[in-house]
Copies of this chain bind each other. A is one copy, B any other.
Amino acid sequence: MTGTNTGPHPAPTDSSRIHAILGMVGDKWSLLVVCNLRHGPRRFTELKRAIDGVSQRMLTVTLRNLERQGILTRTIHQVMPPHVSYELTPMGATLCATALPMVEWAFENSARIDDARTKYDARALKTG
């Protein structure tokens, strides 16, 4: 993983670095945005519609953040009516490739997780 750490587990310093990066690009809205750009550029309103539940503010914040980290580009088209499109950079495309399996995992396992949580809570009630 590190290129220098040959042991079975990451060295301590790796964790803080990884943690920082995951904090920048690995939050839930960011992964959903990145996955929604996998087929090419999309406009603000398209993303807003596609990512159900995201507020206008959070979508703006997330897009600015991803642009800042070099994950996507923002292009203003001076046509009538004017509009803005977002597109993955090459680095963003590689993130998309690794993020998609995670998103698919989340979808495929949602029922199993709901189930586990219900059981855990029921057991916690009895135990106290």
Residues of A with Cβ closer than 8 Å to B?
1-2, 8-10, 12-29, 31-32, 35-36, 39, 49-54, 67-70, 91, 94-95, 98-99, 101-107, 109-110, 112-113, 115-117, 119-121
7 more contacts with CB within 8 A, not counting A16-B53, A19-B28, A70-B112, are A14-B107, A18-B32, A18-B106, A21-B107, A21-B113, A22-B28, A22-B103
Main secondary structure of the interface of A (DSSP, over half): helix
A91: B residues at CB distance < 8 A: 109, 112-113, 116
Count of identical protomers in the assembly: 2
> A101: nearest residue on chain B (CB-CB)?
B98
A35: B residues at CB distance < 8 A: 10
